[in-house]
Amino acid sequence: MNEGDTLPTVEKTFSQDDVNRYADAAGDHNPIHVDPNFAAGSQFGRRIAHGMMIAASISEMMAQAFGQDWHKSGRMKIRFRAPVFPGETVRASGTVRSVRQIEDATEVAVSVQVTKANDEAAITGDARVRIE
């Protein structure tokens, strides 16, 4: 990996069934995610997907690019920018910001983001991984 390299993208479309299954798995049944009547009265006007479910697409992208090194040493710092609605398609992407030698490993820093089909950023942030 070199500075400026792009990572393979991960594209996902999350259905309301996916959101409901995530709510069950995470134990997060906030009505903004699962109750259409409650969500209709919210600032979003409809149900939204869980942010961490969407953020998992970044982790999937990093795992595809860095394999077990990501699972062992990866970390990310992200910011949620816009809601993702069930049925929307999102794309996780990343660009290598820096590659540096630290101790007996190489640390790769990546600018990451998840964008919606209209190119609006849903999540932005940074990820780091140590390659041994």
- Residues labelled as active-site residues: 28, 33, 48, 51
Phi, psi of 88 (to 5 degrees): -80, 150
Q: At what angle do helices 51-66 and 16-26 cross, to 10 degrees?
A: 90
Evaluate whether 101 touches 34 at the Cβ level (below 8 Å): no
Evaluate whether 57 touches 90 at the Cβ level (below 8 Å): yes
Amino acid at 114: V
For residue 45, the 8-state DSSP code is S
